[in-house]
Amino acid sequence: MRHGISVYNLYWADYTCPSFYRMLDLVRVMQFALTEGRIAVHCHAGLGRTGLAIACLLVFSRRLSPALAIAYLRLKRPGSVQSHAQVAGVREFSKRIRILLVQWPDRGLAACGHRFSYEEHLHRQRALLHGVAARKLRRLSLLVHTVCTRLLQLSLGADRRLTLEAVLAATSELAAAAAPPRLDDELKVWRDRLNSEGSYRPVLHCQDPGRLFRFLLCWLWELKAAAVTRQHISILLASPTITAGLGGLSSLTATLLRYCAVFLLRFGAGGQHAMDDLEEAVMLRLLSGLTQTGLAAWDTANGRGYPAFAKYFASFLDFTECLVERPGVGPFRAWAAPLGRLCGEPREAEEEELRAEEAREIAEKELPYGEAMALDGDAEERLGAEE
């Protein structure tokens, strides 16, 4: 450490393979180290276990096939990945990591678990992110954060009304029909690059706020279940206070709602001033995506609870704006920090909130990092066999 060199030791028997989650831990450490500089990987001879680790890194970071990763490695260092078991280990790692790498629900990828919920998406994300991103986005989707951040960048210095009109024009079919928005050919390319390469480059280079907002709504509608369900809405509406309502939700759902509120405020759609028609329309489109409900359900005559949730969310925007404006809070802490701490509740209440949050995470089977992620029997059996 004194010379700027860190050492990470990981043991497993020669000519064998570690469990999937143990290898995933190692690959994530290597990937993070590469962002800081160069790395050196070595075992006893620098061929078998070293080759296995580097081949899995190429599969993880470069999206190479097992055969191509091994062939490239052997071209650079002949004799790498020595045993049949290690070759099979690279194939097994590739097979299982493919499922985690799918970030957009796509029926064309049925073998990779093409449908998943918002919670399952975050479980997959946690296995992939590392460093600052892993800590910052522990309870928030990277896709949601990236798209919203780009939208906020485009809104800076732009005419607010023109920006909101572009968003509404790009999702006009939501108002005309009950069908959800669909991806056009260009957005399908975005989706495919995200799933195959993990690339957000099209999002980061896009100059059209309407297309970005449509991309986000399409992703929300494609989830296996709504990110905000009717049960969540019932909890929020039945609670006496906003903090009590959010405390009754999972930490993932509560963070998503808080983030969306901060985003709308910064995007120019909401706040303590009375919302105009454009701002309300943008808010309703986002809520329709979160709940996977057509805009017709938000009509006062047919809403069955959704109009009440829209009024609740408008009040929630006011509540969030007050948090953002408090000294030392700001936009990031307004959605990421524990709510009890921001609202000045007693420390006992804050600790109780954290304990309740941990209990909910255990109940939801949120996957932590490392070997504790191996909830499936297959991984546990292989780990036991190695030991």
Give the helix, strand, coil percentages of the chain, each rounded to 5: 65, 0, 35
Which of 135, 102, 127 is CA-nearest to residue 31?
A: 127
Angle, vertex CA 147, rays to CA 295 and CA 131, nearest 5: 135
The domain made up of 134-345 is a member of CATH 1.10.8? no
pLDDT of residue 164: 92
pLDDT of residue 230: 94
pTM of the complete model? 0.82
Angle, vertex CA 317, rays to CA 316 and CA 322, nearest 5: 95
Phi and psi, residue 120, nearest 5° = -65, -35
pLDDT of residue 299: 73
| Whole-angstrom distance, CA of residue 53 vs CA of residue 17 | 9
pLDDT of residue 383: 30
pLDDT of residue 359: 58
| Whole-angstrom distance, CA of residue 100 vs CA of residue 27 | 14
The distance in angstroms from the start CA to the end CA of the chain is: 31
Which of 6, 260, 27, 19 is CA-nearest to residue 151?
A: 260
Q: Are 211 and 170 in contact (CB under 8 A)?
A: yes
pLDDT of residue 298: 83
- Residue indicated by tokens 């799933």: 195
Q: Are 200 and 146 in contact (CB under 8 A)?
A: yes
| Whole-angstrom distance, CA of residue 223 vs CA of residue 217 | 10
pLDDT of residue 296: 81
| Tokens standing for residue 212 | 């970005």
Residues of the chain with pLDDT under 70: 1-2, 107-114, 175-178, 269-274, 300-304, 344-387
> Domain segments of the chain: what residues?
134-345
Angle, vertex CA 260, rays to CA 299 and CA 32, nearest 5: 150
Per DSSP, the residues of 326-342 read: STTTHHHHHHHS-HHHH
| Tokens standing for residue 299 | 């009509």
Cβ atoms within 10 Å of 195's Cβ, excluding its own: 21
Burial class from Cβ neighbours inside 10 Å (0-12, 13-18, 19+) for residue 338 reads middle
pLDDT of residue 45: 86
